[in-house]
Amino acid sequence: MTIAMMLDPKKIPPLFLVATLLLSLQAGRPVQANAQLPTGQAPPVLPDGSGDESGSPAEALRRAMKFLESIDGPKSIEITRSMTEEYDALVEAVAALDPNNAWLDYLRARSFAMAGRRMDAAEHLRRFVETPEGRNDWRAHRLLGDSFAAEFPRLAKGSYEKALQLNPNEPAVLYGLSVCTYKLGDATQAIRLARESVAADGGETIRYVANLASLLQATGDLSGALQESRKALDLAVAKVSEKSAGRADLLFADAQYGLTLSILQARTRESNQASPDDYLLLARLIRNRAALAGRLAELDVVAVLETAVKQAASNAPASLLEAYAVSLVKVGRVDDARKAFGRLLEVDPTNMTATEGLRRLDTAPSSP
């Protein structure tokens, strides 16, 4: 069951939205492979001319910033354990070459944020925004707001307001302000900010639209909430239809199904608002969500079999390798499936499943 479905919209703030707000902080934590980092903004740009000398402190800093730019682009990507390790190595290179560099606090804050250590991230960000380099950096103030949002909405609101002064009409900041404002009891202002965040973003980011939907649901506007939640769901479904969609994308889509279903269920409980079309939509979404759950289950199966194959190493039996290869095909990991079928043929040269699987994969495109 998703958080959105557990909410009582008349009594409880949209906690699901706080959770999505903190995805940018928790993405890529070492204990979770393939956590998703949502759409963000480019990192601060270094002054022109910095980093010209290979191996210099400025060059090390620029490499770390370039890594952040690669994960903070306009499209969501998957953050893996290896990526966080690569970033941490870049940060340590800056520290070794220039231990007093003011940007180190910003870099380390991002590292702690990726590991889900919000308060450690906040400590470094608070130091950074007090420096000349960080005082007028809207991203740092926004990230500081993100680190406070779950537990200290009033502190978060102050940081978001400073970020908005520095970069008016920034959708990520408007979104954060909306969530915090609602938690502080001003639903009307929260909805206004939510609408502004969606408008500033062009309605392209799922969590901004879902935030507006949840706020409208919480204030009793079920018709408006359903309209916005369906927009968010359409965006999420489009994302999971892409070949590059990962587990985090599927989980995020599941959350959007949960949000829309909770609104529809609320409408059907109030007979004066429900229509036959509402019941038909409710039935269709329940069926579609079940299919999505099947995809998630296949990913779980792959994870289990992958662990078993790695533990067995060269002693993996043909039955295990066959099950693993077939599951890889089901989740679209074509390149890995080819390798698994090839390994299966080494163990069992007459295995027809492997022979037929490789024949079919010969015409399949490589994994993204």
Q: Is residue 305 part of a domain?
A: yes
Tell me which of 72-81, 125-134, 336-345, 349-358 is least confident: 72-81
> Are residue 212 and residue 327 in the same domain, yes or no?
no
Residue 79: φ, ψ to 5°: -100, 120
Q: Is residue 11 part of a domain?
A: yes
Residue 37: φ, ψ to 5°: -100, 120
> Are residue 100 and residue 192 in the same domain, yes or no?
yes
Q: Give the pLDDT confidence of 118-163 residue by residue, as tens digits.
A: 999 999 999 999 999 999 999 999 999 999 999 999 999 999 999 9
Single residue among 185, 219, 253 that ends a domain in this structure? 219
Structural domain for 167, as ranges: 3-219
CB atoms near residue 75 (< 10 Å): 9
Q: Is residue 246 part of a domain?
A: no
Q: Is residue 34 part of a domain?
A: yes
Which positions ≥6 away from 50 have C-beta within 8 Å? 58, 61, 62
Nearest to 217 by CA among 1, 2, 11: 11
Position 100 confidence tier, pLDDT thresholds 50, 70, 90:
very high
> Are residue 193 and residue 333 in the same domain, yes or no?
no
Q: Is residue 252 part of a domain?
A: no
Nearest to 269 by CA among 257, 259, 288, 282: 282
pLDDT of 297 higher than 90: yes
CATH number at 196 reads 1.25.40.10
Position 70 confidence tier, pLDDT thresholds 50, 70, 90:
confident
Residue 296: burial class (beta carbons within 10 Å; 0-12, 13-18, 19+): middle
Nearest to 2 by CA among 10, 242, 288, 14: 14
Residue 160: φ, ψ to 5°: -65, -40
> Are residue 28 and residue 176 in the same domain, yes or no?
yes
76 in Cβ contact with 38 (< 8 Å):
yes
pLDDT score at 63: 94
pLDDT score at 77: 63
Single residue among 219, 243, 272 that ends a domain in this structure? 219
pLDDT of 265 higher than 80: yes
Give alpha helix (H) positions in 45-186: 57-71, 81-97, 103-114, 118-128, 138-148, 153-166, 171-183
Q: How far is CA 360 from CA 241, 281, 325, 329, in A?
A: 22, 37, 13, 10
Rg of the chain, C-alpha, whole Å: 23
pLDDT of 75 higher than 70: no
SS3 31: coil
Sequential DSSP letters for 346-367: HH-TT-HHHHHHHHHHTTSPPP
Q: How many domains would you assign to the chain?
A: 2
Q: Is residue 124 part of a domain?
A: yes
The amino acid sitting at 313 is: A
pLDDT score at 72: 77
Q: Give the pLDDT confidence of 206-222 residue by residue, as tens digits.
A: 999 999 999 999 999 99
> Are residue 193 and residue 305 in the same domain, yes or no?
no
Nearest to 147 by CA among 26, 41, 4: 26
Q: Is residue 64 part of a domain?
A: yes
Q: Is residue 236 part of a domain?
A: no
Q: Which residue has the tokens 């990913």?
A: 299
Single residue among 219, 243, 259 that ends a domain in this structure? 219
> Are residue 24 and residue 166 in the same domain, yes or no?
yes
> Are residue 40 and residue 146 in the same domain, yes or no?
yes
Which positions ≥6 away from 335 have C-beta within 8 Å? 366, 367
> Are residue 308 and residue 179 in the same domain, yes or no?
no
> Model-level pTM?
0.78
Query: Token digits for 217?
Result: 């649901």
